[in-house]
Amino acid sequence: MKPILATTLILMTTSSFANCDNLKSCVEEASTLTGVSYIGAVDLNQKNFISDSFALDRENVEKSISVLLNQHGFTRITVNEKTKLIIPARDVRYNTVESIKWTGDIQDIPDLSDYFLLTYPLKNQESLPYITRALRPFMSRYGRIIEQVTSATIIVQDTGTNLRKIAGLLTQFDQPFDQKKVRDIERRMKHTNSKYEKNKEGGRRK
């Protein structure tokens, strides 16, 4: 009888992994799998679409829960080793997230939809304002980017998954700055704008 009971227990446990009809049940299952408790003043009764073949397990639970929370407009903040706080993602700026200093290895940035704070020291300080402007279109909805001029550092807060992409772009943008090329571009832009204004004024007179 013991082998039969053991088999039944395994089947029941495995089938419960797929019980993610709503976000709350997924978070509760994640808590059971990881031993991490979740708290928060949020409503997690939103419905999920989960295919029949999907099952939470110890290998995919961290990634899956962070993605699901993100899709519903939430994120997780670490309170301590055994507790995480669930908050609306829009409020992440008012909370402290884990800091990561860029070492050159993208694997140091967790591939999760949780938010992290990346500190990236530039090799070419003169590129600082241009890099900041170039990166803004790549930020997620609640991501933020700050330039620290005195230390030639860019600080980016965003999801881990997006920070991986941004870190890759930073390594490409952090190149020796060519002042002459920038002046040429600015000169051409001024000429184009001036020509446009003249044509527009001529059209009004007609």
Q: CA distances (Å), 205 to each of 52, 186, 191, 196, 202, in order? A: 68, 29, 21, 15, 5
Delineate the domains of the chain, giving CATH numbers in brackets. Answer: 2-94 (3.55.50.30), 99-175 (3.30.1370.120)
pLDDT tier at 128, thresholds 50, 70, 90: confident
- Token match 């009004």: residue? 204
- pLDDT score at 11: 33
Residue among 60, 95, 55 at smallest CA distance from 75: 95
- pLDDT score at 20: 80
**Residue 44 vs residue 17, higher pLDDT:** 44
pLDDT tier at 203, thresholds 50, 70, 90: low
**Residue 190 vs residue 107, higher pLDDT:** 107
Separation of alpha carbons 28 and 25, rounded Å: 5
Q: Are 99 and 119 in contact (CB under 8 A)?
A: yes
Candidate from 54-58, 69-73, 81-85, 190-194 with smallest mean pLDDT: 190-194
Local structure of residue 78 (DSSP, 8 states): E
- Token match 């039969």: residue? 4
DSSP letter for each residue of 110-126: --SSSEEEEEEE-S-GG
Separation of alpha carbons 127 and 136, rounded Å: 15
- pLDDT score at 1: 46
Whether the pLDDT of residue 17 is over 60: the answer is: no
* pTM of this prediction exceeds 0.85: no
> Where is 135: in which H helix or E strand?
helix 128-135
- pLDDT score at 82: 97
- Average pLDDT estimate for 8-33: 68
The residues that bridge with 159 in the sheet, in sequence order, are 115
How many C-beta neighbours within 10 Å does residue 114 have? 24
- Average pLDDT estimate for 62-72: 96
Whether the pLDDT of residue 206 is over 60: the answer is: no
Q: Are 161 and 113 in contact (CB under 8 A)?
A: yes
Q: Quick: pLDDT tens for 157-166.
A: 999 999 999 9
Task: Find all residues with CB under 8 Å of 187, minimum gap 6, and list them.
Answer: none
Separation of alpha carbons 157 and 23, rounded Å: 25
